[in-house]
Structure 1
Amino acid sequence: MSNLWWFIILAILGLLLFLFTIYKTKEPRRKMLMIFLVVAGLSYLLEYVILALFHSYNYYPGVINDLWYDTLLGAIISQGITIPTVAMCIVAFHLNFYWIIGFSVMFMAIEEFFLYVGAYEQNWWQTPYTGILLIIGFLIGKWWSKQLDNPPKWLQWMNIYLTINIINHTIIYLVIVLNGSHQFTVNWFTDKIQSHVAFDALYWFISAIISTFIIGYFYRPLLIFVLYVVQWLSFFHLEQIGVLTLNNYWTPPIFALLPVLFLIISAELVKRLRPYSKILN
């Protein structure tokens, strides 16, 4: 059986659980969506450290020829869909610690199965690490949910930031894979693709900070235009010093439209997540 089918099955199960949870929960659906985005956003931050920087493991969906992009696809399915959905389910139905242990053991079993069928490979990572981090992550999800009942300002800021990160990194991944839009050359690692992935992710993490403040304080056409100009100049400078290579029809002014698009999509999503991001002007 092709490795891809295991990932498809995992994604479908995650989607079905997502729909079931949203349909059956008595909690506000906006709140559940917020928990999903928060856990996914935190997972992306963690993946940057353990995967992009320290190359902890590889996924092998077998969709993309390049190992790194193929691995990132597997990570999106696992950390961007399945795990956040389970965290949302735990919160939605007020499942206790025994359920958290059970789900963590389930994911460890899935990890071992993926190792067995060759859909996944550990470099320095160990399966128990997954179980420990999942328990911590699910507990954070439950704690975060309680805070959302009367969210402090810092939590509202984090909600916006994590939401933007999901938009930024998921869409830019698709743009790179489907269109081959750009390449960063920074020589951080011996593997040039790993260097690109690490720098690219860091760039969009930083960009998300700027977008967070725009959405939170002054979401107006003028500041959106300022963001566009700043990104344009940034990409132009990176291209001039040989750090950024734009491919096909991409140029700095066209590429700079992407962060503006991410900002607009994120702002519309954040608006619909009120009151959990009510600092939005």
Structure 2
Amino acid sequence: MDLNSLCYLGLGIISIILLVYICIKSDVRQALLTFMGMVGLGYIIEAVIYNFLSSYQYYPHIIKHEPIYDSALGAIASNALTLPVTATFLAAFRKNWLWAAFAIGLYAGIECLFLELHIYKHYWWKTYYTSIGLCFYFLLAKFLYHKLNRPLEGFFHTFCLYLIISPFSGSLQFIPIMLFSNRYYELGLFTNQAKDTTAFSTIFYLCASLVYVFMVKFLPLPQWVKYSVTGLCMYGATQLLRHVGILHSLVWWDTGYYIALSLLSLLLTEYICKSLHKGPLPAKI
């Protein structure tokens, strides 16, 4: 384990500790839903600027066999832990703009340090882009946390449900590819196979997440029918992508894993849907 790995793992461990502290000291339902929603928002932003526009690259030196997947793991660490945990902390404890400014300055400093240590690299991205983006990101976290203080309905309920379920679906869809090379995609967006796989994985999980939300919210069918249809949709999508030459499965368990993932994602979508319809638990006297 070298300096690169220690820096990324250190940030990850600190973020997990902070998340546990937030859940203990604040309303755990609001905190976790806000955290997951901000993860989802971060994933979508990263899909655009990182996956498709090649803004920067991470070097955590954890995945040795493929630099693109190693960089993707660094992106996941940033957008699934460090930034959403900080945003949730500021929202949950109602910190003012001075705290937000300090957090933005801290992240700008860490980014500059990582650039100096060559464990992170800009292409066209600039550090001040990060600072400007975090201003809006932290404000949205405060807005979301406030909204979750009461039951959600309508479009905002659907949007938050999608934000929360999509990173779960995306992470569990892509992590086996990074670690076990169980499949790759060949869409032709990029000449590098791993980059092409990363980009299409993003499209895949965003579309799959739409299906889960649609099944739960807009399809008036018995539960067993929904699960059957979801599994069949994943199986059908897998076979279609194979037939047209986009998907290449490399292990025997590939299809079964993604069908099981689709059913687990639907189950979690149902649970989150109900949770968003509920307000916070009454305070204990």
Same fold (TM over 0.5): yes
Q: How many residues align?
A: 275
Q: Residue 119 of structure 1: CA displacement?
A: 1.2
Note if contact 1:168-1:262 (Cα within 8 Å) is conserved in structure 2.
Answer: yes
Counterpart position of 1:102? 102
Note if contact 2:4-2:119 (Cα within 8 Å) is conserved in structure 1.
Answer: yes
Q: 1:244 to 1:215 in 2, by over 3 A?
A: same
Q: 1:175 to 1:267 in 2, by over 3 A?
A: farther
Counterpart position of 1:249? 252
In the alignment, residue 105 of structure 2 is paired with which amino acid? V
Deviations 1:231-281 (A, max 9, x none): 21121111112111011113546543322222223434544555169xxxx
Deviations 1:168-203 (A, max 9, x none): 111122211232221110111222221211111111
Counterpart position of 1:206? 207
Residue segments in structure 1 that go unaligned for 5+ positions in a row = none
Identity of aligned residues (%): 25
Q: What secondary structure does 1:256 align onto?
A: helix
Q: Quick one: distance in 2 between partners of 1:4 and 1:97?
A: 32
Q: Quick one: distance in 2 between partners of 1:192 and 1:23?
A: 43
Deviations 1:84-131 (A, max 9, x none): 111111111100112111101111101111111121111111100101
Q: Quick one: distance in 2 between partners of 1:122 and 1:208?
A: 30
Counterpart position of 2:160? 159
Q: Residue 147 of structure 1: CA displacement?
A: 2.1
User: What is the TM-score of this pair, normalised by structure 1?
Assistant: 0.92
Counterpart position of 1:29? 28
Moved over 6 A (4+): none
Counterpart position of 2:136? 136
Q: Quick one: distance in 2 between partners of 1:162 and 1:198?
A: 19
Counterpart position of 1:47? 46
Residue segments in structure 2 that go unaligned for 5+ positions in a row = 281-285
Counterpart position of 1:237? 240
Note if contact 1:167-1:266 (Cα within 8 Å) is conserved in structure 2.
Answer: no
Match runs of 1:1-281 below 5 Å:
1-25=2-26, 28-64=27-63, 65-150=65-150, 151-217=152-218, 218=220, 220-250=223-253, 252=255, 255-272=258-275, 274-275=277-278
User: What is the TM-score of this pair, normalised by structure 2?
Assistant: 0.90
Cα RMSD (Å): 1.9
